[in-house]
Amino acid sequence: MREKQIMAQFMTLPEAVAQNLNSGDTVAFEGFTHLIPHASAHEAIRQGIKDLTLVRMTPDVIYDQLIGMGMVKKLIFSYAGNPGVGLLRRLRDAVENGWPHKLEIEEHSHAAMANAYEAGAAGLPFAAFRGYKGAELAKVNPNIKSVTCPFTGEELAAVPAIRPDVTFIHAQKADRKGNVLIEGIVGVQKEAVLAAKRSVVTVEEIVDHLSAHPNACVLPGWTVSAICEVPGGAHPSYAHGYYSRDNASYIAWDKIAAERDTFLAWMKDNVLEAKPEDFADRISHLRSPA
Amino acid sequence: MREKQIMAQFMTLPEAVAQNLNSGDTVAFEGFTHLIPHASAHEAIRQGIKDLTLVRMTPDVIYDQLIGMGMVKKLIFSYAGNPGVGLLRRLRDAVENGWPHKLEIEEHSHAAMANAYEAGAAGLPFAAFRGYKGAELAKVNPNIKSVTCPFTGEELAAVPAIRPDVTFIHAQKADRKGNVLIEGIVGVQKEAVLAAKRSVVTVEEIVDHLSAHPNACVLPGWTVSAICEVPGGAHPSYAHGYYSRDNASYIAWDKIAAERDTFLAWMKDNVLEAKPEDFADRISHLRSPA
Amino acid sequence: MSQTDFTPTEMMTIAAARALKNTDVCFVGIGAPSAACNVARLTHAPDVTLIYESGTIGTAPSVLPLSIGDGELSETAVTTVSVPEMFRYWLQGGRVTVGFLGAAQIDRFGNINTTVIGDYDHPKTRLPGGGGAPEIASSCGEIFITLKQSRRAMVEKIDFFTSFGHGEGGDHRARLGITTKGPTLMVTDLAVWRTDPVTHEFTVVLLHPGVTREMVQAECGWTVRFADELGETPSPTEIELKTLRDLNARTKAAHSGGKTGEAA
Amino acid sequence: MSQTDFTPTEMMTIAAARALKNTDVCFVGIGAPSAACNVARLTHAPDVTLIYESGTIGTAPSVLPLSIGDGELSETAVTTVSVPEMFRYWLQGGRVTVGFLGAAQIDRFGNINTTVIGDYDHPKTRLPGGGGAPEIASSCGEIFITLKQSRRAMVEKIDFFTSFGHGEGGDHRARLGITTKGPTLMVTDLAVWRTDPVTHEFTVVLLHPGVTREMVQAECGWTVRFADELGETPSPTEIELKTLRDLNARTKAAHSGGKTGEAA
């Protein structure tokens, strides 16, 4: 049984990060191409939180940034790349050269991670699935084990449930009771929130009523710790119905991240000296027609 | 790997039952109060298909009817009752008195059945969940076993996946490609269809476009064997957006099913000598305002 | 202002409703629990989250559902999820603070039978079975039970352990590795019972107005334990009674009209 | 009418597209596989079901997605499900007939490495990792692979078994209890390869127009096997080429405009 649930609290993003993310935490900033919580990750960087264990199926630009800023002790993941562009250069620098410091790696397949989040949401200690057959990750990752079906004798792969200390996601809307609506490509965000001890949701807007389809992906307010209105908070990722993906920014990142000094200069200008309110400007030219 | 998928075929309900349901099959007529496939069960009764193993979380009136007509060898279930009314009298007569013949019982909890359908849909041989603790069903049902978490050592309950030969469901709509939309209380129907070798879906109407929410509960046409347009096909259950539940019929069933001869007379008049097209009339007074 | 003109069933429902808090997330059984939970929502606990096993989360029906899957539950819910998700993410996920159950047969330790009367393989009466109860009993933070007292329902020894309460009492739950509290409260038409913190036997702590110890014992199949400091259940307030009666009247009108399922 | 003016990459994409049937359910990798799958859909296989691991089922994008989660995939899909459901019900559930993969490094038995160049713990180059590939390779009915040939990509021995093809060949899949076919087809910019039914080694069965055996061997790190009856890949038809070029032009216009993600 979890601790008694309370209604989501509305607050600023700096407050939400300060109250919910601590150095040493295991944290997921989840998003599957769509709705990636850039604003939250940038706020975590500004607050200088250290020794994080980062979890995500598809670490991309924000994880490159967190790693490059030296905030990450360990990365648990299944595919690390800049979608449609290439490799993550800060991640490579950490893994290949130990800069700015060494990075511990726990690597899975997508199926394993998706099942592990699902098991976390379902309160189970592990997930069983048919996977990793002949795959070498099972040899280098001691957290890949097996269970045997008590009815058929089939051996299945087993991985521990993912249970982050805190999960950050970005969503389209919340209503005034803190109920959150996610639409379109919903990814693994519902599971990532339900699996976590605490959760922070940034949203494009807060509305009186969600007017959601009965079977839409909705997180009730009492499953969320904090809600912050941060328009554009997914940029350069996108928010279905609000603004499109800023592909130019993803392409530009490859060059920015290529060298340590260009990376650090960019982080200073665009993250350390910026604030959550800046995201709204960044997506003004990408807004969807109303 | 399943056999190659083909697009759902549109046909009449008598054709769909004849082509997909055989004596000796394991069959699920699923529905969770909402969207119960009455018309399909009645057609199965008319075709006199025997020796069935019936599966369902919540067997109610149609299972009482199938059992009372002597078509059922075994029942796999978790809650057998006439919702809001009382017990199932034909089921009781079979279990307590062996009329019209003995009935084999495999009894689970809802959590076990829901997980077992989910495992069937997911292609797994079994489902693991935290359940049956101190519950006596685990002593009388040999299909309740356990697995041990390889990470924590916790012992969890395990049940075999449900994999029906055929699943029947009722849904609101299909489009002309056979894609099926289920809205409102969706129950375990998606899992029951995906877990089955074959599936028959009766729908209120066939439309040009589903116009479904991106994250609505939709079964693509290539996951369904046959689609039959049977307006009112859930009566006396209901179809969200089309017609309401006929509570009077559920209450009346208790008296009809109380005695063998009143039961048989009712079945003759309302099932054996009726046809799928009769369902439309039965819901005319229950239609939702447009 | 408290009322004096009320039935034992009304007192039962209202006393049960009072036990729910505004912050609770409650898995609602059908029948008496459903009435109590909705009275709570309509009086002191407007933000209580009611969950029915049909997948409806945060539902606020205007009439009591006849079944756990009535259409209005989905129409008024914050969200409606699939049944597998309900049992995996929400119940097993540890999200539910209170499970509210009825009982066909119950013993002094809150063990419940809704499976069979008589032998399992050759039952005298085949009951509906457990449904969600086995895992509700083990996964919810605590369990509230409400039922009308009778010697047939409240028995020395139940015929079948459909759902586990405190077993043979004491630390039996803990010995089975169950970490939730189990039954902590029982509200009948005669009294409010709490489980003893050590023996985990149900103990009468409040008698409803006008009820005596003897009346409670007369309708109970085991020797009843009474608390040393036995109190009286506060009578229903005017607003509690009006809320319950209005709810029942709306429910009766809706269900007899034959148009309950949904009205989209 | 077949065309003579086309690039090797165009030939590769079109030859790969031809392998998909109208009844296939295809799990689409990003990059070259995505182009091939959408050309198939826009030419001979209008009802092919394309699934991307972001959860979009039956998608029909007008431009090629830059990532597996572009907004248009969801907008045009029959349905969009969660990622756990995608991997559980759809991939593991045995619903996918063809998995279409690219490869950073591949060997003659269709084993693929997208994890590291060099040692795993001290890599020379850290690649993105497997993503969905390990279970796509084992759960789909069969696997099609498409990549541009080079000695760096097509190697005698891969550095890491990210996803399993036919292992060391022969019945290696069966010995591991894998019941699906694994890699059956590889389409490069120079040739079409099929796996030998016994050894399961990739064998060139068709050379693209103008390509020689020597050209194939020059860009492959292992000693290439050629079929006894070696054929020539039919040149792209006018409609195939126009379809691919229009798709690429639309894609380029959309992605350079910075407004790809979605446009609801």
Is residue B78 within 8 A of residue B58, CB to CB? The reply is yes
Q: C61 to chain A: which residues are within 8 Å by CB?
A: none
Instruction: Note whether C134 contacts B115, CB cutoff 8 Å.
Output: no
What is the token pair recorded at C47?
């933000």
Cis peptide before C84 (omega within 30 of 0): no
Instruction: Name which of A151, A215, A217 is nearest B126 (Cβ-Cβ).
Output: A151
Residue in the block written with tokens 């009466």: C125
Is residue B60 within 8 A of residue B88, CB to CB? The reply is yes
Percentages of chain B per state (helix, strand, coil), in multiples of 5:
30, 25, 45
Residue C67 pLDDT = 80
C22 vs A: CB within 8 A: no
Please write the tens of the pLDDT for every residue from C20-30. 999 999 999 77
C263 vs B: CB within 8 A: yes
B216 vs A: CB within 8 A: yes
D170 vs A: CB within 8 A: no
Residue C262 pLDDT = 36
**Active-site annotation holder among C53, C201, C219, C240:** C53
Does the predicted interface ipTM exceed a cut of 0.85?
yes
Q: A1 to chain C: which residues are within 8 Å by CB?
A: 94, 97, 139-141, 179-180
Residue in the block written with tokens 């494009």: A204
The Cα B192–Cα B170 span in angstroms is 12
Backbone angles phi, psi at D37, to 5 degrees: -65, -40
What is the Cα Rg of chain A in Å?
Answer: 19
| Interface chains of chain A (3 or more CB pairs under 8 Å) | B, C, D
Instruction: Note whether C81 contacts A215, CB cutoff 8 Å.
Output: yes
The Cα A64–Cα B63 span in angstroms is 57
Local structure of D8: helix, strand or coil: helix
Instruction: Note whether B123 contacts D93, CB cutoff 8 Å.
Output: yes
The Cα D166–Cα D26 span in angstroms is 20
Backbone angles phi, psi at D258, to 5 degrees: 75, 20
D262 vs A: CB within 8 A: yes
Residue of chain B whose alpha carbon sits nearest to that of A148: B147
**Confidence band of A154 (pLDDT split at 50, 70, 90):** very high
Higher pLDDT, C33 or A158: A158
Residue D68 pLDDT = 76
The Cα A234–Cα A169 span in angstroms is 9
B1 vs A: CB within 8 A: no
Residue D106: strand pairing partners: D112, D154
Residue B2 pLDDT = 59
Is residue D145 within 8 A of residue D96, CB to CB? The reply is no
Residue of chain A whose alpha carbon sits nearest to that of C136: A1
Is residue B98 within 8 A of residue B105, CB to CB? The reply is no
A129 vs B: CB within 8 A: yes
Local structure of A16: helix, strand or coil: helix
Dihedral, CA of residue B115, residue B121, residue B127 and residue B131, to nearest 10: 0
The Cα C63–Cα C261 span in angstroms is 11
Beta carbons within 8 Å of A290's beta carbon, 6+ residues apart: none
Instruction: Note whether A214 contacts C179, CB cutoff 8 Å.
Output: no
Q: D88 to chain B: which residues are within 8 Å by CB?
A: 118, 121-123
Residue A6 pLDDT = 67
CA distances from C119 to A158, B96, B132 (A): 40, 11, 20
Residue of chain D whose alpha carbon sits nearest to that of B180: D78
The Cα A65–Cα A85 span in angstroms is 16
Is residue A29 within 8 A of residue A37, CB to CB? The reply is yes
Backbone angles phi, psi at A192, to 5 degrees: -65, -35
* Mean per-residue pLDDT over chain C, rounded: 93
A216 vs C: CB within 8 A: yes
Residue C258 pLDDT = 47
Which of C75, C90, C82 is closest to C28 using CA atoms? C90
D225 vs B: CB within 8 A: no
A149 vs B: CB within 8 A: yes
Q: C79 to chain A: which residues are within 8 Å by CB?
A: 179, 212, 214-216, 218, 220
Residue in the block written with tokens 């009778």: C150
Instruction: Note whether A215 contacts B183, CB cutoff 8 Å.
Output: yes
Q: Choosing among D28, D64, D87, D251, which should be mutated to test the A contact, i.e. which has the most A CBs within 10 A?
A: D87
Residue in the block written with tokens 């969807």: A288
Instruction: Note whether C83 contacts B114, CB cutoff 8 Å.
Output: yes
User: Given phi > 0 = left and psi -120 to 50 = alpha, else beta, which region is C129?
Assistant: left
The Cα C63–Cα D242 span in angstroms is 62
Instruction: Note whether D94 contacts B1, CB cutoff 8 Å.
Output: yes
C135 as an active site residue: the answer is no
Backbone angles phi, psi at D2, to 5 degrees: -85, 155
Is residue C24 within 8 A of residue C142, CB to CB? The reply is no
State pTM to two decimals.
Answer: 0.97
What is the token pair recorded at C41?
């929502």
In this structure, the strands spanning D25-28 and D98-101 are parallel
Average pLDDT for residues C174-198, to the nearest whole number? 97
The Cα C116–Cα C128 span in angstroms is 8
CA distances from C106 to B111, C173, C176 (A): 22, 17, 20
Q: D28 to chain A: which residues are within 8 Å by CB?
A: none
Q: A146 to chain D: which residues are within 8 Å by CB?
A: none
Residue A32: strand pairing partners: A34
Distance from CA of D234 to the nearest CA of A (A): 30
Give CA B234 to chain center in angstroms.
Answer: 11
The Cα B150–Cα B162 span in angstroms is 24
C2 vs B: CB within 8 A: no
The Cα C122–Cα C136 span in angstroms is 27
- Report the run of H or E that residue D123 belongs to, with start and end: strand D123-126
The Cα D100–Cα D97 span in angstroms is 10
Distance from CA of A122 to the nearest CA of C (A): 4
The Cα A226–Cα A199 span in angstroms is 7
Is residue A197 within 8 A of residue A123, CB to CB? The reply is no
The Cα C166–Cα C158 span in angstroms is 13
Instruction: Note whether A145 contacts B129, CB cutoff 8 Å.
Output: no
Q: Cα D166–D167–D172 angle (5° rounding)?
A: 75
Please write the tens of the pLDDT for every residue from B218-258. 999 999 999 999 999 999 999 999 999 999 999 999 999 99
The Cα A41–Cα A69 span in angstroms is 11
The Cα C141–Cα C139 span in angstroms is 7
CA dihedral for A7, A11, A14, A15, sign (positive or negative): negative
- Report the run of H or E that residue D97 belongs to, with start and end: none
Average pLDDT for residues B25-49, to the nearest whole number? 97
Beta carbons within 8 Å of C192's beta carbon, 6+ residues apart: C15, C185, C186, C204, C205, C206, C208, C233
The Cα D195–Cα A87 span in angstroms is 31
Burial A197-232 (b: 16+ CB within 10 A, else e): ebbbbbbbeeeeebebbbbbbbbbbbbbbbbbbbbb
Query: How many residue pairs bridge chain B and chain C with CB atoms within 8 Å of each other?
Result: 209
Beta carbons within 8 Å of D192's beta carbon, 6+ residues apart: D15, D185, D186, D204, D205, D206, D208, D233
The Cα A31–Cα A61 span in angstroms is 12
Local structure of B217: helix, strand or coil: strand
* Mean per-residue pLDDT over chain A, rounded: 96
The Cα A69–Cα B50 span in angstroms is 69
The Cα A118–Cα C194 span in angstroms is 36
Give pLDDT tens digits along chain D (264 positions).
Answer: 567 799 999 999 999 999 999 999 999 977 779 999 999 999 999 999 999 999 999 999 999 988 877 888 999 999 999 999 999 999 999 999 999 999 999 999 999 999 999 999 999 999 999 999 999 999 999 999 999 999 999 999 999 999 999 999 999 999 999 999 999 999 999 999 999 999 999 999 999 999 999 999 999 999 999 999 999 999 999 999 999 999 999 998 887 754 443 332
Instruction: Note whether A184 contacts B156, CB cutoff 8 Å.
Output: no
**Active-site annotation holder among D10, D53, D72, D219:** D53
Residue A1 pLDDT = 53
Local structure of B270: helix, strand or coil: helix
- What is the layout of strands, in order, in the sheet containing B145-148? B126-129, B155-160, B145-148
Distance from CA of B1 to the nearest CA of D (A): 4
Is residue B269 within 8 A of residue B263, CB to CB? The reply is no
Please write the tens of the pLDDT for every residue from C73-108. 999 999 999 999 999 999 999 999 999 999 999 999
D84 vs A: CB within 8 A: yes
Beta carbons within 8 Å of A69's beta carbon, 6+ residues apart: A45, A100, A267
The Cα B55–Cα B163 span in angstroms is 10
DSSP, res D102: -
What is the token pair recorded at C78?
């914050």
CA dihedral for C212, C216, C218, C223, sign (positive or negative): negative
Local structure of B94: helix, strand or coil: helix
Please write the tens of the pLDDT for every residue from B260-271. 999 999 999 999
